[in-house]
Structure 1
């Protein structure tokens, strides 16, 4: 999926969740923050290693 295309529609029996957020940050840093577990844990109090 790219910014210019929409995903295929899911059958009506499947719930759909769409989450959109604008973040003022360089794309490469934002990608690393969402894909590297150690960075993801730094930015969220909901993720804990000991839980």
Structure 2
């Protein structure tokens, strides 16, 4: 009986952390993609400037 309660608590905790981590990863991935877009934009601008000069 006690083990079942302990296991249920652990599973509840795991489920919470899985959900939290999923949300956190999604947010970080979006930030990372935005950063990559900005970097690519700067890189293309720099290349274009080199070609024209």
Q: Normalized against structure 1, the TM-score is what? A: 0.25
Whose helix proportion is higher, 1 or 2? Answer: 2
Higher relative contact order (CA 8 A, sep 6+): 1
Larger Rg: 2
TM-score with structure 2 length normalisation? 0.24
